[in-house]
Amino acid sequence: MTATLLYFHDPMCSWCWGYRPQWLQLQAGLPAEVQARYILGGLAPDNDELMPASMQQTIQSHWRRIEALLGTTFNFDFWDKCRPRRSTYPACRAVIAARLQGHEQTMISAVQQAYYLQARNPSDSSTLFELADECGLDTDRFQTDLVSDQVQATLAAEIHFTRSAQVSGFPSLALQQQDRLTLLPIDYEDHKLTLDYVHRQLTQTQRHFHRRFPGN
């Protein structure tokens, strides 16, 4: 029986950046019958206004905390070189536009590295266009898709699904088996905790299936 591991995230979520090494290991260790799927939760709607100083300080404190806890690298030059805005939906739409060309994970990585390591602002369309080119995408198609009704509708649907799944923060993980959705624990330093839960859920489902259908 197949299952899907849902990864609820935002490409500009600092805790998602901190969790990235464990998430990659978790994906690599998944059983063959489990497929990973990314779901965009959307942290912050479109906004052209400069982020208030107090919010900038709060987010920088989050970066320092993650850096201290997990050893994650952050480039704090971003706060001096860029015009920070509390707006992650553009980057979310960029991920969907890249998905349409088969490069979803490539764009997620590019957005994270641009934001956290290269002091570039993924809230800006110009940065997203540059990243599409660096990722080897069809840039004309990317720019068209980025502002399309289709991409906006997909983002809205994923945000709605995230909320209906009662996901309270990013990153979050859930195992989907037919109509059942089970939220899973996350350890930011050890992916094996989640992997053990995945195996446990699969085993329980198989036992239930065989009790209902003994001949299978």
pLDDT at 1: 66
What mean pLDDT comes out for the span 32-60? 97
Average pLDDT of the residues of the chain? 94
pLDDT cut 70: percent of the chain above it? 94
Nearest to 116, CA basis, from 167, 154, 64: 64
CA 161/CA 165 separation, integer angstroms = 6
**Which pTM value belongs to this model?**
0.93
CA 38/CA 111 separation, integer angstroms = 15
CA 156/CA 118 separation, integer angstroms = 29
pLDDT of 201 > 90? The answer is yes
Q: What is the CATH number of the domain that holds 157?
A: 3.40.30.10
pLDDT at 6: 98
Q: How many domains does the chain have?
A: 1
CA 57/CA 51 separation, integer angstroms = 10
CA 32/CA 126 separation, integer angstroms = 39
**What pLDDT digit, counting tens, does each position of 139-175 carry?**
999 999 999 999 999 999 999 999 999 998 999 999 9
- Which range marks the domain in which residue 76 is found? 3-212
pLDDT of 204 > 90? The answer is no
pLDDT cut 90: percent of the chain above it? 91
